[in-house]
Amino acid sequence: MKEDKTKTSTNKKSRRDFVKNTALFTGGAILLPNLHMSGMANVAGNKKLKLALVGCGGRGTGAAVQALTADENVELVAMADAFEDRLKGSLANISKAMGETKKINVKEKNQFVGFDAATKAMDLADVVILATPPGFRPQHFEYAVNNGKHVFMEKPVATDVPGVRKVLAAAKKAKENKLNVVVGLQRHYQDSYLAAIDQIKKDSIGKIVSGQVYWNSGGVWVRERQPQQSELEYQMRNWYYFNWLCGDHILEQHIHNIDVANWFVGEYPISAQGMGGRQVRKGKDHGEIFDHHFVEYTYPSGAVIASQCRHQPETMSKVSEFFQGTKGTVYTKGDNATLTDWNGNSIFEHRGKEDPNPYQVEHIKLFESIRNGGVIADAENGAKSTMSAIIGRMATYSGKVIKWDEAMQSNIDLAPDELTWDSPAPVQPNADGTYKIPTPGETVVI
């Protein structure tokens, strides 16, 4: 998702922005990011790696371009999406972005559409990009691992607890089988955050005892219902607003900041409590999700992190993290990281205007690891940070204190493993076209 309106250079754009705001849609020449390509010289002449893209929206399209850019000997051979128009549009945009290249070889017969498209595409590849709406991620990841594929998968990695458990099981198998898995929590590949965590590990600010993390913005796109659409197609086209597909914006977007809290504290939360609701974004076309959440996360060490996210136009926008330690504070936002002591004196500062694009670095590191026989194992953390955001959603929807261990036993399964176009949508509208909205004090979440 777009992170900060102040980020305008190509080097600072998200995958979706990379596709949306470049010549892919203007017909002009596209400039690929200025990359630090060290370590790539040794891959020339190695085995050609076959790539499959599963999920052909904006973020999948951008990730495919970055994967093709990251390695000298990789070829896109298969694509999959529920919708043919999205697949065709994505292929056209990838081709425009890459220009004259032999790296794109997606034959008509290898352009798969429908609910079984993902497995057909993955069968043809060595490396897969999983970028569908996250409700499908657990089953796609499980299939990829069971069939020996290296994986780049977008965050979050599930929308419900059964999905988290499935990803954790597959993550263990992937590691045992020496499969590389990179998850799109790109701050783990961003110089400013790496510099900050290095300082934290050096005890520069002492033990973190509290913090505040934010993703407050005006919200995202709405795709209006079209004539002749089934309810299932409408929900899949408008996936952001349905929990079986998206998990609410506390999960789909704010997971980035919650993940940073987990990383910097060095633990995962043991409980969450909070509040939220729909105050501004509450129309029929806004599905069932909230437009604001506030959660307090408690960690085993006793640290308490306050988390807030909001989708309300014309309100304060803020995407950043701020933590208080026993000896000082750390503030992270985009390419900047600042540490100060409790007297206001600077301890450390990182200003990364020329830092490499972390979205690109993810793919460079993935292919370097594959080439060099390494193992990147991001999936377990991806699953646990996903779970952290899920217990936050559980807390705001129910109004109750949600304990991690109890929540992990939940069998509420939001995303069906098997669907056809004749299947009923997992969520059904009311008679007036609205959807049932979670109600604190009434909604059952475990």
Please report whether residue 435 resides in a domain: no
Radius of gyration of the chain, Cα coordinates, nearest whole angstrom: 21
Do 130 and 86 share a structural domain?
yes
> What is the model's pLDDT at position 26?
26
Q: What is the DSSP letter of 226?
A: -
Residue 225's CATH number: 3.30.360.10
Same domain, 169 and 236: no
Q: What pLDDT is attached to residue 16?
A: 43
Looking at the DSSP assignment, which residues form a beta bridge with residue 272?
A: 297, 402
Low-confidence ranges of the chain (pLDDT < 70): 1-45
Predicted local distance difference test score (pLDDT) of residue 28: 29
Q: pLDDT at position 24, please? A: 34
**Nearest-angstrom CA–CA distance, 55 and 141:** 13
Query: What pLDDT is stored for residue 37 in this prediction?
Result: 36
Would you say 82 and 117 are in contact if contact means Cβ atoms under 8 Å apart?
yes
The answer on 333 and 232 residing in a single domain is yes
Question: What are the tens digits of pLDDT across the range 338-394?
Answer: 999 999 999 999 999 999 999 999 999 999 999 999 999 999 999 999 999 999 999
220 and 272, same domain (yes or no) = yes
pTM of the model: 0.91
- The candidate with the shortest Cα–Cα distance to 155, out of 144, 166, 141, 142, is 141
Q: Encode pLDDT of 278-317 as tens digits.
A: 999 999 999 999 999 999 999 999 999 999 999 999 999 9
Dihedral angle of Cα 97, 101, 104, 109, to the nearest 10 degrees: 120
CA distances to 271, 272, 292, 392 from 407, rounded to whole Å, are 9, 10, 22, 11
The verdict on 148 and 40 lying in the same domain is: yes
**Same domain assignment for residues 181 and 311:** no
Domain extent, residue 281, equals 189-355+385-407
